[in-house]
Amino acid sequence: MSNISILERLLKDIEAYDSSRKDRDGFARRFIDAIESLEAVPYTVITEARDWQYNIETEGYFEDEDCEANIEEVIPKLKAWIHGLIEAHS
Q: Quick check: helix, strand or coil at residue 16?
A: helix
Which of the two residues, 21 and 2, has the higher pLDDT score?
2
Note down the domain range covering 42: 3-89
pLDDT in tens, 21-72: 889 999 999 999 999 999 999 999 999 999 999 999 888 666 555 655 555 6
Q: Which CA distances in Å does 47 have to 6, 36, 42, 72, 85?
A: 18, 10, 9, 22, 14
Q: What is the pLDDT of residue 64?
A: 58
Q: What is the pLDDT of residue 60?
A: 65
Q: Quick check: helix, strand or coil at residue 71?
A: coil
Residues 6+ apart with CB under 8 A from 79: 11, 14
Q: What is the pLDDT of residue 10?
A: 98
Number of domains comprising the chain = 1
